[in-house]
Amino acid sequence: MKRLVTYAIVLLSALHAAAAPRAARESQRTQAPSTDGKLNIIAFGAHPDDCDQRAGGTAAKYAALGHRVRFVAVTNGDAGHQTEGGGALAARRRAEAQEAGRRIGVEYVVLDNHDGELVPSVDVRNQIIRQIRQWNADLVLAPRPNDYHPDHRYTGVLVQDAAYMVVVPNITPDTPALRKNPVFMYFQDGFQRPNPFTPDVAIAIDDVIEKKMDMLDAHVSQFYEWLPWVAGSLDTVPKGTAERKQWLRQTRAGQPTPAVRSALLKWYGAAKGKEIRHAEAFEICEYGTRPDEALLRKLFPFLPRPE
Ligand SMILES: [Zn+2]
């Protein structure tokens, strides 16, 4: 009997040892501190470039104030390209993501799940739970689960599925559970069904728009190759690096929608709110901690103080 118990313990230790490197690979550092007055923000996108488009400007503003931001690509981007694919493309996308993060001062993690094949499995959910816990997140940003791309859609579902589990100790016990549920918010999107995106907070990013464009510019395989190819407009991409960056700004900087403009007027006041040219907006998720206005102001410290 004793020998059987010993055998079981050895077997369990071996299984644990096999699982450990994977968990370690999913993060580059242990739990971030929460006692130094700095915020821990984590954003999830399906592909290396998704977080950048939806929250790159806001992330640059957090970084400038010394807050910690981690972007997580849930897939490795190894499918979305017209002439490249597999491990070589994944390596290129990872390098581009890390360069993009470096340009604005945020950490970029790319999880090793196949592009175009993401499903809301318990395995990937647990990867996301670990990320949120390791980052000791105050605020979690993610897409809504309404989207044309299944990877985007399931990233939304996976983060929703993690929103409660991050505080449950018996779930993924290899990474300590959070004692405080973070606030979860959605990125802006244009999908209308079953309900359109409703901006609860809108952030002016005019002061960091060049930084955001600089970040997008690092994703060469996406913005200058794959996305224009799949849109049938590859011939409109300029050849020179300065020219194509200018083209990127013209095509990707974007304008606030009427709903986002209303949120800007609310948070910045009528005079300033109507002058803002570029913004990023976020909607409160019903799961996780529901923030009141005071908590939103704490989580978005660059919003102007009420007059
Ligand atoms: Zn994407």
Q: What confidence tens digit (pLDDT) does each residue in 251-300 have?
A: 999 899 999 999 999 999 999 999 999 999 999 999 999 999 999 999 99
Q: Say if CB 149 and CB 117 are below 8 A apart.
A: no
Cα(302)–Cα(307) distance, rounded to whole angstroms? 15
**Confidence class for position 30, pLDDT limits 50, 70, 90:** low
47 Cα–ligand 1 center, Å: 5
Question: Three-state SS for 70?
Answer: strand
Ligand 1 ion: nearby residues, β-carbon < 5 Å: 46-47, 50
166 Cα–ligand 1 center, Å: 24
This prediction has a pTM of 0.90
The yes-or-no verdict on residue 35 having pLDDT over 80 is no
Cα separations in angstroms, 142 against 173, 183, 189, 196: 24, 11, 11, 16
| Cβ neighbours for 4, distance < 8 A, ≥ 6 positions apart | none
Closest CA to 253 of 285, 307, 229, 217: 217
51 Cα–ligand 1 center, Å: 9
Residue position matching structure tokens 């897939």: 75
89 Cα–ligand 1 center, Å: 15
Average pLDDT, integer, range 224-238: 97
Count of CB atoms within 10 A of residue 291's CB? Answer: 20
173 Cα–ligand 1 center, Å: 30
